[in-house]
A = this chain, B = another copy of it.
């Protein structure tokens, strides 16, 4: 019984890890579509999003079935509850990649981004992939030290986001209000993507250690 339970839990963690990887890749391709005003790629990200939504529903149902059939207690129960909460975070990461792709599509054939900020978004896209992969690794390894390292990428994302705002607020900004609105929303999507990856890691660490890692100020508007 316990063995079946742990096999099921491992399968669930693998599914959640796969979803993190998929969300990261979705953000990578959404970023590429954004930088190159590539409508075809944006449309692909948008249609592929269904896969993450489907996997979310499956993961939730798997977790529910483990609860219903195995009636786990104590730490095992906390693990399943955390898995259900983690599904919502990963689902949101996928939705944020979708949003980026939709802005690409809305502005096509124009570029949504002024060339001046392309470098920021290229780097934020790279970090998003890393964050997705790191969240996947933490889900599989359940290693608190690895989880702590996810904060480094999140800090880097926050730094980029802050710098991006100084560029926007600069009197030299010559790209008009419409571009500023797009850049503001897009920057927010990447920052929230990183926050959710951090939240996934935080919940895994809570599963393992029973306490949340030190509270950090994230998602400052």
Contact = CB atoms under 8 A, between A and B. Distances in A.
A220 B105 CA distance: 13
B64 A77 contact: yes
B180 A169 contact: no
A: contact size bracket: 20 to 34
A181 interface: yes
Contacts of A1: none
A220 to B, nearest CB: 7
A181 B85 CA distance: 31
Given A81-B84, A84-B84, A181 B184 contact: yes
A15 to B, nearest CB: 17
A130 B215 CA distance: 32
Interface in A176-216: 177-178, 180-181, 184-185, 188-189
A123 interface: no
A221 B67 contact: no
Contact of A185 (B74, B99, B177, B188): B188
Interface string A64-92: 10011001011001100100110010000
A221 B68 contact: no
Given A64-B78, A165-B181, A169-B178, 20 more contacts: A67-B77, A67-B81, A84-B84, A84-B85, A85-B85, A85-B88, A88-B88, A99-B219, A99-B221, A100-B221, A102-B220, A102-B221, A103-B221, A168-B178, A168-B181, A180-B180, A181-B181, A184-B185, A185-B188, A188-B188
